[in-house]
Amino acid sequence: MGFRADVVRAAAAGRDAARAAQPITACPHPRESLLRSAWVRGYAAARPITRPQPSPE
């Protein structure tokens, strides 16, 4: 398999981890790896975007 397939798999694994409510620290790839970037992008894509909560006054 090529690197592209590895990147696609890493992004899909990141999405699956986010949907399973795993912490972002569950990424299995080392910090220096480009696969880590793909995993984190997949994770971020699956997380809902929330608005900042107003501060209580």
Residue-wise pLDDT tens digits, 4-49: 999 999 999 999 999 999 999 999 999 999 999 999 999 999 987 7
How confident is the model at residue 1, as a pLDDT?
66
Spatial CA neighbour of 46 closest among 12, 21, 19, 24: 19
Q: What distance in Å separates the CA atoms of residue 4 and residue 24, rounded to the nearest whole number? A: 22
Q: Considering the entire predicted model, what is its pTM?
A: 0.80
Q: What distance in Å separates the CA atoms of residue 1 and residue 35, rounded to the nearest whole number? A: 14
| Coil, helix or strand at residue 10 | helix
Q: How many residues does the chain have?
A: 57
